[in-house]
Amino acid sequence: HKYTGTYLHMLVTATIMLGIMEKEGFVGCGYDVEEADLMPFKNFGKIPGVCKISHFLGLTVLAMGIFTSFGLARFPVLK
Q: What angle do CA 60, 62, 19 make, to 5 degrees?
A: 90
Residue 47 and residue 27 in contact, taking contact as beta carbons nearer than 8 Å: no
Coarse DSSP helix, strand, coil percentages of the chain, rounded to the nearest 5 percent: 70, 0, 30
Separation CA 14–CA 42 (nearest Å)? 28
Q: Is the pTM of this model over 0.75?
A: yes
Q: Are 65 and 10 in contact (CB under 8 A)?
A: yes
Looking at every residue in the chain, the average pLDDT score rounds to 88
**Mean pLDDT in residue range 37-44:** 84
> Using the 8-state DSSP alphabet, how is residue 39 labeled?
-
Mean pLDDT to the nearest integer, 26-40: 85
If you average pLDDT over residues 53-77, what whole number do you get?
90
Mean pLDDT (whole number) for 57-71: 93
